Structure 1
Amino acid sequence: MLVVEDEPDVAAILKRIVDATGTWCARVLTDAAALDTALDPLPDLVFTDLAMPGLDGFEVIRRVGALDAGLPVVVISAHASLQNAVRAVKAGAFDFLAKPFKPESIELILAKAERNIDLRRRATCVDPELAALIGESSAMRRVREWIATVRSTRANVLIEGESGTGKELAARAIHGGHGAYVAINAAAIPEALAEAELFGYRRGAFTGAVRDHAGLLREADGGTFFLDEVNATSVSLQAKLLRVLEDKRLRPVGGTQDLASDFRLICAANVSLDTLVGQGAFRRDLYHRINVLHLRLPSLRERREDIPLLAEHFLHRYARAHGRNVLRLSSEFSAALCSANWPGNVRELENAIEQAVILCPAARSELHVDLLPPALGGRGWVDQADAAGAAQTLAAVERNHVRAILRQTGGNKSEAARLLAIDYKTLLRKLAN
């Protein structure tokens, strides 16, 4: 990293703190006029004083940004006014630190910078599918290593894990770009249409079949078919799917001939299929066909050390997407995230961060805990009828509760139905009313 500071004593103190981490090594530049030379090669991180003769911190930000817009620049200033801080952040500063500073403040910024740099490296990774599985916990490292080992095979895979743990991301990583990738959520297909959607149909097979339709399994020929929530398939559809896996052939609805289709099947389930087999709700023979390779994704509660990295990733994504200037999380905000239970897992975390970014006032560059949903200790979005204490009908109370559960699960209707202890079709009916 590079320290641009015209006061030798301050520069020496900063270098000593940085070098003591054992992770970073600081180069000091006391003459800002030589900045262009010092930026070759580019450092991973820059600390710069704000007020310097000839070349101020804003010009340092501009020159660094011209070379690499994503390179983090931390501004240090004895003139720690809110106006200067806001101006620095708007100019592109990664963080703002007031003089005099404590070693703990420097260490915290360095930790944030490490996460930022890690995210940037992932973004330019030659394997974007694996890079999308964010996390440096031992559990996520094992997941990526396992996927890298099995992705070159054609064996069927069963992925199990709670809703929101990233099963489709894992499926895409296993696919690895080899051939077509076709995905469908079994719970989203009405039972009456499931066979036609998967196996295709011939013209005239039923009312509305005005042309031939290849079907999703034929579209996946030579590639991968991802069947999410396979636990939602009917027993009759399970029997037909088993035959396709055994013979590599299928017959469209209304057809008279079998057609070849060779694909790798990746299934996902948010409940234990082994338990469903024991209950007679899932065919044992199909279970063994799809469970050649098995991957269990950990819940977010099992890898809490990944929460700060995930939160930083979503913060930067949605700040760009929604045109916000927010750059970092407050310590209280991060603590609230790390202590939450996250029943909706990564999807729920992502939604909480996006909501906070959208609600963050324009003058703030930091997410505060009050922007989190009430369940996480913030205010978030408050229903106006509730805030005013107005009486509500029983139907309104039920409707608000259903919507709250949907927000909690990140919009996953199957998981919401499970938490509400109602079946999927009942949930759809309540949402339609």
Structure 2
Amino acid sequence: MKVLLCTRDKTLCLNGVHRVEEPPEDLEGYVILLDVDTVGLSPLADLRENNVLVAITANSIPGYVMKLISLGFYDVLRKPVREDKWKELYAKLEEEFRHRERVIPFRPEDTYLHGELCEELCSIAGSTEGVMGSVLRILGKAASVDVPVLITGESGTGKESFARALWKLSSRWRGPFVAVNCAAIPHELFEAELFGYEKGAFTGATSSKRGLMEEAEKGILFLDEVGELPLSLQSKLLRVLQDRKIRRLGSNREIPVNFRLVCATNRDLKDMVKQGLFREDLYYRISVIHIHIPPLRERRSEIPMLLNYILSKVCKELGKRIEGYTEDFLRTVLEHPWPGNVRELENAIRKAVTVCYGSILTSKHLDLPSVESPSHNILTIVEEEVRRRIRAGERNIYNRLMEMMARVMAKTAYEELRSQVKAAEVLGITRTTLRKLIS
């Protein structure tokens, strides 16, 4: 590790460090201790590209220290520099340079796709091979025909990004992309938001308003979390898909509409149909083409390419320069289960880049939560499902949930053992009961 002290203050002296009054030109691979009080910040632009900069200052104002860090300094030492502080910094820098010897270089130009459409695809698919290859092929076919599409997948897998990619690939790319989060709209406002209303249709309707279905004319209407649509509105949506006409609230006039419907959900709509929570006829109407996005844990081979794309995107947004990451950093990323999928990965990378004061990402920059045990995850899911059903005003929740869990256990045991006799035995139920549950 080559260290250079740049100062005009002769009272500043650090053992074992070469001191100069002016930084020489063409420095590369140095740790430069810059006395910003005497030398100033003018050399900063020329030095920070290929060196590690440490500021030395008598200014103790927190805001000034943060400003120096934001300008690209690795750390800030306060005058007078005590020996223990220098040793502490030296140990940190030694570790930093040790990591650099095993660094995996990162270059933004290496991200394999460019352009607006490709940004949508890169954000969810690390590769056009393997698991996502077949999914992308379905996307290509879906873009060529003007029929409703249902996109399913866990939270954070990138369902909206996939819908936007579908829009940009389709013949409707000149029209608008209108996204609606069905879980965020109160049930009593759903109809007014989707269909629009006339002046005086209800208290507070002081003027007419176009609904989101009209706003999506000649484009895409994206209904995210479509499983949250109340049953009363499901029948009206079905009629719109059949007749291609709507009526605003407070009006008898029919308005023709022309949009392509794309829906997304992280719920099992088939199971909701069995429970009477989702209309079967609407399910088949919205899922003419079904695209399922696998969770990130099932496509780990794509993580390195996703990582590079996200790094390129985040560095551009934050105006930071990252040269690469250590093997330990990559290993940690690959081994984490990512229950929040691509969204969680992007948030983790964004945080790592933010807290990294150098140009090399290490595992210490990753602040990943510990993964809960499977049993705790199951209990959490059940708790959230009970709360959701209570808020939705459902009744007979216990029996419905118990039946749903019984079906899941029966189906899983049978698929694992491929024998009704063995599956019934391990579950402690009769074959007759098992057959009813898996039918």
Normalised-by-shorter TM-score class: 0.5 to 0.7
Count of aligned pairs: 306
Deviations 1:338-392 (A, max 9, x none): 11111110001111111111122x2x21122122224269xxxxxxxxxxxxxxx
Match of 2:387 in 1: 423
1:58/1:152 CA distance change after superposition, 3 Å: farther
Contact 1:86/1:365 (<8 A) preserved = no
1:141 aligns with 2:129: no
- Take 1:224 and 1:125, find their aligned partners in 2: how far apart are those partners? 17
- Take 1:57 and 1:418, find their aligned partners in 2: how far apart are those partners? 64
Contact 1:160/1:297 (<8 A) preserved = yes
1:282 aligns with 2:275: no
- Take 1:341 and 1:57, find their aligned partners in 2: how far apart are those partners? 47
Gaps of 5+ in 1: 1-55, 60-78, 92-100, 378-400, 402-415, 428-433
Question: 1:372 aligned to 353, 362, 366, which one?
Answer: 366
Gaps of 5+ in 2: 1-23, 34-46, 54-97, 373-379, 392-439
1:90/1:117 CA distance change after superposition, 3 Å: farther
- Take 2:117 and 2:193, find their aligned partners in 1: how far apart are those partners? 34
Match of 1:51 in 2: none
Aligned with 2:262: secondary structure? Answer: strand
Match of 1:165 in 2: 157
1:284/1:212 CA distance change after superposition, 3 Å: same
- Take 2:232 and 2:344, find their aligned partners in 1: how far apart are those partners? 34
> In structure 1, what residue type is equivalent to 2:360?
E
Contact 2:124/2:157 (<8 A) preserved = no
> In structure 2, what residue type is equivalent to 1:372?
L
Contact 2:142/2:149 (<8 A) preserved = no
- Take 2:239 and 2:359, find their aligned partners in 1: how far apart are those partners? 57
> In structure 1, what residue type is equivalent to 2:186?
P
- Take 2:389 and 2:50, find their aligned partners in 1: how far apart are those partners? 52
> In structure 2, what residue type is equivalent to 1:134?
A
Aligned with 2:214: secondary structure? Answer: helix
Match of 1:271 in 2: 267
Contact 1:315/1:327 (<8 A) preserved = no
Match of 1:313 in 2: 309
With normalisation by structure 2, the TM-score equals 0.61
Which aligned pairs between 1:162-311 and structure 2 lie closer than 5 A?
162-176=154-168, 177-311=173-307
Q: CA deviation at 1:127?
A: 5.3
Q: CA deviation at 1:323?
A: 3.1
Which aligned pairs between 1:105-120 and structure 2 lie closer than 5 A?
108-109=104-105, 112=106, 116-119=108-111
- Take 2:370 and 2:30, find their aligned partners in 1: how far apart are those partners? 31
Contact 1:133/1:140 (<8 A) preserved = no
Q: CA deviation at 1:105?
A: 6.0
Deviations 1:34-66 (A, max 9, x none): xxxxxxxxxxxxxxxxxxxxxx9969xxxxxxx
> In structure 1, what residue type is equivalent to 2:228?
A
1:149/1:316 CA distance change after superposition, 3 Å: same
Aligned with 1:259: secondary structure? Answer: strand
Q: CA deviation at 1:192?
A: 0.6
> In structure 2, what residue type is equivalent to 1:203?
K
Contact 1:312/1:328 (<8 A) preserved = no
Deviations 1:153-180 (A, max 9, x none): 1110000000100100111111122422
Match of 2:341 in 1: 345
- Take 1:90 and 1:155, find their aligned partners in 2: how far apart are those partners? 56
> In structure 2, what residue type is equivalent to 1:280?
G
- Take 2:279 and 2:333, find their aligned partners in 1: how far apart are those partners? 40
With normalisation by structure 1, the TM-score equals 0.62
- Take 1:122 and 1:140, find their aligned partners in 2: how far apart are those partners? 15
- Take 2:303 and 2:382, find their aligned partners in 1: how far apart are those partners? 25
Contact 1:58/1:88 (<8 A) preserved = no
Aligned with 1:240: secondary structure? Answer: helix
Contact 1:202/1:212 (<8 A) preserved = yes
> In structure 1, what residue type is equivalent to 2:353?
V
> In structure 2, what residue type is equivalent to 1:123?
H
- Take 1:425 and 1:205, find their aligned partners in 2: how far apart are those partners? 30
- Identity over aligned pairs, percent: 39
1:130/1:351 CA distance change after superposition, 3 Å: closer
Match of 2:414 in 1: none
Deviations 1:174-229 (A, max 9, x none): 11224221110100100010000000000111111111111000111221110000
Q: CA deviation at 1:337?
A: 1.0
Q: Which has the higher contact order (CA 8 A, sep 6+)?
A: 2
Match of 2:429 in 1: none
Contact 1:203/1:212 (<8 A) preserved = yes
